[in-house]
Amino acid sequence: MSFLSSRKLVLLFVIILMAGALLISCAPAEEEVVEPEPDPVEEEGPREGGKVVWARRDAPTTLDPMKHGEAAANQINALMGGNLVALDSWEGEYVPLHAEEWDVSEDGTVFTFYLRDDIKWHTGRQLTAHDYVYTYDRAFDPDTGAVQTLGFLEDVVDYEALDDFTFQVTLEEPSAVFLASAATAYTKPVDKEYIEEVGDDDYARNPSGVGAWKFDHWVTGESVTLVRNEDFAWAEPWFENQGPPYIEELQFRYFPEEATLLAALEAGEVDIASLPAHAVDRFEEHDDFEVAVNLQMGMGRWFMPNMEREIWQDERVRHAVAHALDRDFFIETSLEGRAVPAYGPMSPPMMMYNEKVEDLAPRYNPEKAEQLLDDAGWVMGDDGVREKDGEEFEILLLTRTEELQMRDAEIAQGLLEEIGIKVEIESFERALHTEKVRDGEHDLSIGQYWWSSGDPDVLYFFFHSSQSPGGLNSFHLKDPRVDELLENQRTAVDPDERAEYVHEVQELLVEEQFAFFVYITEEYSAIHNRIQDWMVTPAGGIQLNDAWIDE
């Protein structure tokens, strides 16, 4: 091949190519300074119309609220219709939504909801207590396969419509957590007539509800489009606008690739998207966007030791690991400082968070960590790995094949290496990872969980012995003290009493270091500044009922 002899040309071309790559990749940093728009505070008030595009990375597979466990579907389901009550996450309390008010019987087992009489389905029919009965029937029908929904209705023993607008639920035992079940979109009412007319499968593809937004169309894997419900007049109490949304069309678009999603945001194809930490600066400096921030609701990043393992039985070893995991280093390295340290199992905005854990939790102190390991009999070997009774301190850390988890696992690997613990990382897809963790193949695993209701009962699912194996208790923790406290908080109807148990269990988990708490994520969303008057809840939900488009 004779072209190979033109050496200069080859060189020239390669140089041009590299220069091109450099140019393309560094150019975004030097954006032209655009003249700031004249202040858009024209006292005109909300205008109707316009379209908002909201981007996510995960796409829904079904819109039947009873047949999934997906955040992407749940978000849309919530917009298409609320439930009996709503969670006001600013105040941390449940407020009326479909139910104007409700009673709880003295023994705490019977909930009676009095419904509004002006709520209409998207089909025009009126919403009544019988729809709730149908909804619960459908959830309890084994043919539906409503696993997630049933999880919320576990304690329900009976339910009935006392009249058209009174719905009563009886529970097996007093529950402090049932209102959370009456607020989630997983148990929201479903339209009997409509489902019977179109069938289950079509309902999942073309759902109807009672919410501010009506389903319009769905391009599988690419987008779901909603339009405003003209008849809507029953918004959550925190909205100024109780009627139909001002915005005409709300489209969700799905981008599996983060880099592509950010490019679409930057190119103006998308109006709302949550931002990874590394992109926050870029959009804070961007003239077209506002960036909203909130603290993650739920359980922050933690490392979960498999408590069935011999190595973790020694409390000193657990504390040593806790002293070695430098929270600031994680936050700085993994999230560019966009997080706060976590000292206990719950994030501060959750209900009944106990500030005392902040004093109890071990801080970064590698000397102390080494001291504790020495005391526990793990002596430093020649190869920098500690040994005890001829065995090396080598642990298997399982992660999912998810970028942030793998990155944090790498950081932990580096930090633990410093105190002589060798960490092997293995990553698996979600399903396989769940199975391996359930079977206890790990020494350490890593997690972070979102729990938008902010109710502390979620701890039950992670730390109660009944949740292992097979549940979320991947610590395989079986501690009677923890169990007792978690059970008590479930049945304590008096909120103050319940708070005591919840506070105590947090302290116990931290004192024992049954888990290593690292950070709580600050969550960022970019919102295009043509959208006015949006709000964001403490749990990070962007609320659009008051929002309008200024163009």
State in angstroms the smallest separation of the CB of 8 from another protein. Answer: 9
Q: Which of 302, 299, 318 is nearest to 310 (CA)?
A: 318
Q: Which is nearer to another protein, 280 or 485 (CB)?
A: 280
Give the helix, strand, coil percentages of the chain, each rounded to 5.
35, 25, 40
Beta bridge partners of 427: 399
Amino acid identity of 486? L
Q: How far is the CB of 45 from another protein (least distance, A)?
A: 32
Shortest Cβ 459–another protein spacing (Å): 16
Contact flag: residue 273 with another protein (CB under 8 A):
no
* In the complex, least distance from residue 527 CB atom to another protein, rounded to whole angstroms: 18
Helix (H, G, I), strand (E, B) or coil at 333: helix
> Minimal distance in Å, beta carbon 231 to another protein?
31
- Nearer to another protein by Cβ, of 111 and 463: the residue is 463
- Of 298-306, 326-334, 353-361, 501-509, the segment contacting another protein by CB under 8 A is 326-334
Question: Judged by CB under 8 A, does residue 18 bind another protein?
Answer: yes
Nearer to another protein, 110 or 406 (CB): 406
Q: Residue 466 interacts with another protein (CB under 8 A)?
A: no
Closest CA to 85 of 173, 213, 185: 185
Q: Which residue has the tokens 């070893």?
A: 317
Q: Which is nearer to another protein, 339 or 357 (CB)?
A: 339
Q: Is 257 in the site for another protein (CB under 8 A)?
A: yes
Dig out the tokens for 219 from the structure: 């391009």
Judged by beta carbon, residue 255 or residue 534, the one nearer another protein is 255
For tokens 């389903």, the residue is 215
Q: Which two tokens stand for residue 80?
A: 């298409």
Residue 384 in the binding site for another protein (CB under 8 A): no
Task: Please pick, from the candidates 238, 329, 449, 450, the single residue that binds another protein as defined by CB under 8 A.
Answer: 329
Binding mask 237-256 for another protein (x = CB under 8 A): ----------------xxxx
Residues 79-138 that bind another protein (CB under 8 A): none
CA distance 338 to 344: 18
Nearest to 494 by CA among 116, 230, 106: 106
Provide the minimum distance between the beta carbon of 386 and another protein in the complex, in angstroms, as a whole number.
18
Q: How far is Cα 271 from Cα 548, in angstroms, rounded to an integer? A: 13
Interaction with another protein in 152-191: which residues (CB under 8 A)?
A: none
Query: Which 338-377 positions form the footprint of another protein (CB under 8 A)?
Result: none
C-beta of 21 vs 233, nearer to another protein = 21
Residue 448 CB, nearest distance to another protein (Å)?
15
Please name the amino acid found at residue 44: E
User: Minimal distance in Å, beta carbon 136 to another protein?
Assistant: 17
CB of 393 to another protein, least distance (A): 18
Enumerate residues 399-458 that contact another protein by CB under 8 A: 401, 403, 406-407, 409-411, 413-414, 417, 425-432, 434-435, 438
The minimum distance between CB 106 and another protein, in angstroms, equals 32
331: left (phi over 0), alpha (psi -120 to 50) or beta: alpha
278-297: contacts with another protein (CB under 8 A): 278-279, 281-282
Which of 155, 248, 258, 483 contacts another protein by CB under 8 A? Answer: 258
The encoded tokens of residue 237 equal: 């109490």
d(CA 343, CA 95): 31
Q: Which is nearer to another protein, 184 or 467 (CB)?
A: 467
The residue among 255 and 516 lying less far from another protein, judged by its C-beta, is: 255
Instruction: Based on the shown chain and the rule CB under 8 A, indicate whether residue 22 belongs to the binding site for another protein.
Output: yes
| Binding region for another protein (CB under 8 A) out of 26-34, 96-104, 353-361, 528-536 | 26-34
262 vs 317, which CB is nearer to another protein? 262
Long-range contacts of 224-230 (CB under 8 A, 24+ apart): 224/60, 224/63, 224/76, 224/251, 224/252, 225/249, 225/250, 225/251, 225/252, 226/76, 226/79, 226/80, 226/250, 226/251, 226/252, 229/122
Shortest Cβ 424–another protein spacing (Å): 10
Note if the bond before 469 is cis, omega within 30 degrees: yes
Bridge partner residues of 275 (DSSP):
524
**Closest to another protein by CB, 78 or 398:** 398
Please give the residues from 217 up to 236 whose contact with another protein meets the rule CB under 8 A.
219-223
Q: What is the DSSP letter of 39?
A: P
**Residues 58, 79: Cα–Cα separation, whole Å:** 17
Interface with another protein, residue 15, by CB under 8 A: no
Options 40, 145, 377, 384; binder of another protein; rule CB under 8 A:
145
How far apart CA 391 and CA 374 sit, in angstroms, is 14
If one asks whether residue 10 binds another protein (CB under 8 A), the answer comes out as yes
Listed residue (117, 116, 113, 79) closest to 210, CA to CA: 79
Return the residues of window 32-71 that contact another protein according to CB under 8 A. Answer: 59, 61-62, 67, 69
- Nearest-angstrom CA–CA distance, 271 and 526: 8
Q: Does 141 bind another protein (CB under 8 A)?
A: no
Return the closest-CA partner of residue 474 out of 390, 403, 391, 400.
400
**Nearest Cα to Cα of residue 283 among 34, 527, 489:** 527
Contact criterion met (CB below 8 Å) for 547 and 531: yes
Residue number with CB closer to another protein (280 or 311)? 280
505: its two tokens: 């269990």
Binding piece for another protein, criterion CB under 8 A, among 16-24, 98-106, 172-180, 525-533: 16-24
Longest CA pairwise span in the chain (Å): 94
Q: How many CB atoms lie within 10 A of CB 88?
A: 16
